[in-house]
């Protein structure tokens, strides 16, 4: 086994998350775009698990999960500092 499919999944999902993240102009829109990107990437990972390459699916799931974690860390930090939930 080689790491090529895994790295391809990680790279493609990282690019996907970055492209969607750049659509946001403030924290709330960045977070919502990132949530949308993560949900669609997980859907692709499910399809790849059943019909495609499982290594790519794992890479997509890992990278999109990390991207979502980063976005929600920013949301949590804003919530803690301002005591105002930024997504509503």
Unique residue bearing structure tokens 């999944």:
9
Predicted pLDDT of residue 52: 87
Tokens encoding 47: 């399809």
Average pLDDT rounded to a whole number, residues 23-39 = 96
pTM to 2 decimals?
A: 0.91
Task: Check whether 81 has a pLDDT greater than 70.
Answer: yes
* CA separation, residue 38 to residues 35, 62, 85 (Å): 5, 10, 20
In the chain, the percentage of residues whose pLDDT exceeds 70 is: 99
């Amino acid at each position: 086994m080689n790491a090529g499919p895994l790295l391809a999944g990680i790279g493609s999902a990282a690019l996907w998350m970055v492209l969607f993240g750049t659509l946001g102009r403030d924290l709330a829109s960045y977070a919502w775009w990132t949530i949308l990107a993560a949900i669609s990437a997980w859907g692709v990972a499910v399809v790849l698990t059943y019909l495609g390459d499982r290594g790519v699916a794992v890479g997509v799931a890992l990278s999109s999960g990390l991207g979502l974690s980063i976005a929600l860390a920013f949301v949590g930090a804003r919530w803690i500092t301002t005591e105002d939930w930024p997504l509503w």
